[in-house]
């Protein structure tokens, strides 16, 4: 029995924290500038010596890029905020319904709000003595997964009473992931008003040097693409699957082939009907809704293509949520 002068303590609970990359709070240059400053100040994201990078970031990039990026965000912004925030929130809400009172589910962003550290602290305050942190990146990269774990460590370092923590491993080749992708992409392909000749799997790009430094991201993207191509082949025997990398930034050499170059080359080579999917993203975002769906379409049609479709990510679809629930339950084994 608790002594009468003992402070109130929340009943012990298990928590699940979904984590995605981040988003500005509004499609305005000011909000985008704040977001980009935090994002591009992360040494995991930009591996350039600070003395070299700081003048470039603050003197050039943060004075030129926010306006352009804000325009892009404005084209895909929703009544519930950015697509990434709206979808990640929906994933958390649906997962909460699936798990019921077995766990408390919250969501956070590595950059911007809701902040990972603040959400973890709030979960501990709510009684979560055990927390599964889920970086929603199928493929591991130092710039994504490791950065999220860095933020997790920083918050734990600031806490006197830390929760026990587990983290969701990358799931790029997990049968649950490949099966979910196959099911959801087949649903979307079958609903198209045309039959694609090519399915382009576009992954977010990274500087090529990260591959040579030992980052497994490129290899894991390629394996996801190979496994997905294999499971799609029986149902789509005439569909050619290609791989590309999008969102190049700066002058360094990036992973190739580049998505924009592939779209143009395919159309010029005679491909008329193409669909693009982004199996490296757990939720649609600026890179899929604007870069692929809007600019990608313009590039492909301008080069001679006639039919183009940007397929949705798994998002909070039936297949995507079934996968997420199964992954989370597996990692929570022994806790719930």
Domain ranges of the chain: 13-171+320-331, 175-310
For residue 205, the SS3 value is coil
13-171+320-331 adopts what CATH topology? Rossmann fold (3.40.50)
Would you list the DSSP string of 308-328? EEE---STT-HHHHHHHHHHH
Task: Give the pLDDT confidence score for residue 4 in this predicted structure.
Answer: 74
Contacts of 254 (CB under 8 A, 6+ apart): 205, 206, 207, 208, 245, 248
- Say whether 175-310 and 13-171+320-331 share the same fold: yes
Q: Which residues of 299-310 are buried (b: 16+ CB within 10 A; e: fewer)?
A: bbeeeebebbbb
Query: Tokens 């009684």 appear where?
Result: 127
175-310 to CATH, choices 3.40.50.1400, 3.40.50.150, 3.30.160.270, 3.40.50.300: 3.40.50.1400
Rounded distance, CA 80 to CA 176, Å? Answer: 29
- Count of Cβ atoms closer than 10 Å to residue 203 Cβ: 25
Quick one: which H or E segment has residue 131? strand 128-135
Rounded distance, CA 281 to CA 29, Å? Answer: 25
Rounded distance, CA 309 to CA 267, Å? Answer: 14
Query: Tokens 């790029």 appear where?
Result: 172
Task: Give the pLDDT confidence score for residue 3 in this predicted structure.
Answer: 73
Task: Give the pLDDT confidence score for residue 11 in this predicted structure.
Answer: 78
Give how far Cα 259 sits from Cα of 205, 228, 247, 264, Å.
Answer: 9, 18, 8, 9
Task: Give the pLDDT confidence score for residue 1 in this predicted structure.
Answer: 64
Task: Give the pLDDT confidence score for residue 2 in this predicted structure.
Answer: 65
Task: Give the pLDDT confidence score for residue 9 in this predicted structure.
Answer: 64
Q: Which residues of 141-153 are buried (b: 16+ CB within 10 A; e: fewer)?
A: bbbbbebbbbbbe
Under-50 pLDDT residues of the chain: none
Positive or negative, the CA dihedral 80, 284, 326, 170 is negative
Task: Give the pLDDT confidence score for residue 169 in this predicted structure.
Answer: 98
Give how far Cα 230 sits from Cα of 104, 235, 236, Å.
Answer: 37, 10, 10
Query: Tokens 């804000």 appear where?
Result: 70
Query: Which of 232, 247, 238, 137 minimizes the C-alpha distance to 188?
Result: 232
Count Cα neighbours of 125 within 13 Å in the Cβ-side half-sphere. Answer: 6
């Amino acid at each position: 029995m608790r002594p009468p002068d003992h402070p109130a303590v929340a009943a012990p609970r298990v928590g699940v924290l979904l984590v995605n990359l981040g988003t500005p709070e509004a499609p305005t240059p000011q909000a985008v500038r704040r977001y980009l400053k935090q994002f591009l100040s992360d040494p995991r994201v930009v591996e350039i010596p600070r003395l070299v990078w700081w003048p470039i970031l603050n003197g050039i990039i943060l004075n030129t890029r926010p306006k352009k990026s804000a325009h892009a965000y404005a084209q895909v912004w929703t009544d519930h905020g950015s697509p990434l925030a709206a979808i990640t929130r929906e994933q958390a809400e649906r997962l909460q319904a699936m798990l019921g009172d077995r766990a408390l589910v919250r969501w956070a962003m590595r950059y911007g709000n809701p902040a990972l550290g603040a959400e973890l602290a709030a979960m501990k305050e709510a009684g979560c003595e055990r927390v599964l942190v889920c970086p929603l990146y199928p493929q591991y990269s130092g710039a994504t997964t490791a950065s999220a774990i860095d933020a997790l460590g920083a918050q734990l370092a600031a806490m006197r009473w830390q929760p026990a923590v587990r983290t969701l491993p990358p799931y790029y080749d997990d049968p649950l992931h490949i099966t979910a992708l196959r099911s959801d992409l087949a649903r979307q392909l079958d609903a198209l008003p045309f039959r694609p000749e090519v399915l382009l799997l576009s992954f977010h790009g990274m500087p090529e040097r990260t591959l040579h430094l030992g980052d497994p991201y490129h290899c894991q993207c390629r394996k996801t693409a190979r496994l997905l191509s294999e499971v799609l082949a029986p149902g789509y025997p005439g569909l050619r699957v290609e791989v590309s990398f999008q969102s190049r930034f700066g002058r360094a050499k990036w992973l190739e082939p580049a998505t924009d170059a592939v779209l143009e080359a395919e159309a010029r080579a005679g491909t008329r009907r193409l669909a693009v999917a982004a199996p490296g993203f757990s939720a649609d975002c600026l890179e899929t809704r604007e870069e692929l769906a809007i600019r990608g379409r313009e590039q492909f049609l301008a080069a001679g293509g006639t039919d183009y479709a940007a397929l949705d990510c798994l998002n909070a679809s039936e297949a995507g949520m079934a996968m997420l629930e199964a992954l989370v339950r597996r990692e929570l084994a022994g806790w719930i």
